[in-house]
Amino acid sequence: MTLLDGKALSQKIEIGVGIGVKELKSRTGSVPGLAVVLVGQDPASAAYVNMKKKACDRVGFYSVTHEMPEDISQEAIENTIVMMNKNPNIDGILIQLPLPKQIDTTKILELVDPSKDVDGFHPYNVGRLATGLNGFVPCTPLGVMELLAEYKIDVKGKNCCVVGASNIVGKPMAALLLNANATVEICHIFTDNLKKHTLNADIILVGVGVINLIKEDMVKEGTIIIDIGINRADNGKLVGDVDYENVSAKCSYITPVPGGVGPMTIAMLLSNTLQAAQINYKEKN
């Protein structure tokens, strides 16, 4: 069994992004700019935004966080996004989800300029992904593909079972795998007999937020496991959606939690933002 070390790969990618930032600065005098919208006081969201800010500082990005109260109005967020769309120093805009119930999340995501949509959530970029065209791809599934490539795992022709059908992870994950010529099956909360589907899979990719959802008897020998879930167990430890202790013995490859997919998400955000800055500079000149 081989661990897919996302932490090590993310550090390698970060070094590459840092080199790209220096090259862009020497050529243009500017650095990539990332703006984050954080609404409310959710501790997990605040911690995640703080990690992104530190990563931006490490690679030399300009970054700003717009912190807004929980009772913020739709109009106020929209006005901030319009301002960021017009700001030439901002190359990437990230809306930290989830947003409060009074906010229409779809309208907010659609308002972000697609050329600054480094999270890949705008329908324009979603459509380009679905049709196999270049565009910004959601960072978590993109990080999974980078991790598979790093360990020379070719998904072409493999049976891939994606467990979870969210717009942020499951659907774009399935699209990326399909674009790479994998045979893809998507399972979700209404799937009957999940075990029947996972037992047929060469690669299982799961991200639903349910501790120990994937158990030893649901996995065949030699399966590759990509655990995208992250949960806080009763003892305070961070764990994934896979019963790691028992499942790992049957796997050829598996991602640890933490240290697997998580670090790759931020690495891909940095990579997407650098790419946006490079494209924006070319279009301005």
- pLDDT bucket at 161, cuts 50 / 70 / 90: very high
Q: What pLDDT shows up at residue 284?
A: 66
Higher pLDDT pick, 232 / 219: 219
**CATH number of the domain within which 240 lies:** 3.40.50.720
CA atoms within 13 A on the CB side of 72: 23
Angle (CA) 200-201-205 rounded to 5° is 145
Q: Which two tokens stand for residue 146?
A: 């980078």
Q: Per the structure, how many domains does the chain have?
A: 2
- Find the farthest-apart pair of alpha carbons in the chain and give their distance in angstroms, rounded: 58
Write down the pTM of the prediction: 0.95
- Do 159 and 85 share a structural domain? no
Q: What pLDDT shows up at residue 44?
A: 83
Residue 19, domain member (yes or no):
no
Give 54's contacts (C-beta < 8 A, 6+ positions apart).
Answer: none
Give CA–CA dist 31/42, Å, rounded.
Answer: 30
Q: What pLDDT shows up at residue 41?
A: 86
Q: What is the pLDDT of residues 46-70, one digit of tens each?
A: 888 999 999 999 999 999 999 999 9
Give CA–CA dist 74/276, Å, rounded.
Answer: 26
- Do 95 and 171 share a structural domain? no
Residue 236 has pLDDT above 80, yes or no: yes
Strand, coil or helix: 276: helix
Is 2 exposed, middle or buried, given 0-12, 13-18 or 19+ CB atoms closer than 10 A?
exposed
Sign of CA dihedral 214, 182, 266, 58: positive
Give 27's contacts (C-beta < 8 A, 6+ positions apart).
Answer: none
- Do 50 and 158 share a structural domain? no
- Do 210 and 257 share a structural domain? yes
- Do 258 and 148 share a structural domain? yes
Residue 277, domain member (yes or no):
no
102 is catalytic: no
* Encoded amino acid at 262, one letter: G
Residue 280 has pLDDT above 90, yes or no: no
Q: What is the pLDDT of residues 75-121, one digit of tens each?
A: 999 999 999 999 999 999 999 999 999 999 999 999 999 999 999 99
Q: Catalytic residue, from 91, 113, 119, 227: name it.
A: 119
Q: Which two tokens stand for residue 269?
A: 């955000």
Write down which residue in 58, 82, 116 finishes a domain. Answer: 116
Q: What pLDDT shows up at residue 43?
A: 84
Domain that holds residue 179: 139-262
Q: What is the pLDDT of residues 259-277, one digit of tens each?
A: 999 999 999 999 999 999 9
| Helices 6-28 + 139-150 axis angle, to 10 | 110
Write down which residue in 83, 116, 149 finishes a domain. Answer: 116
Q: Catalytic residue, from 91, 96, 113, 241: name it.
A: 96
**Locate tokens 């991602």: which residue?**
255
Residue 189, domain member (yes or no):
yes
227 is catalytic: no
Residue 159: which H helix or E strand, with range? strand 159-163
Q: For 118-133, what is the mean pLDDT?
A: 97
Strand, coil or helix: 284: helix
Q: For 159-163, what is the mean pLDDT?
A: 98
- Do 187 and 144 share a structural domain? yes
**Mean pLDDT for all residues in the chain:** 96
Residue 235, domain member (yes or no):
yes
Q: What pLDDT shows up at residue 30?
A: 93
Q: Catalytic residue, from 52, 116, 158, 171: name it.
A: 52
Q: What pLDDT shows up at residue 239?
A: 94
Q: Compute, in degrees rounded to 10, the torsion defined by CA atoms 78, 117, 11, 45.
A: 30
Give 273's contacts (C-beta < 8 A, 6+ positions apart).
Answer: 32, 33, 34, 61, 91, 92, 118
119 is catalytic: yes
> Contact at 8 Å (CB) between 21 and 15?
no
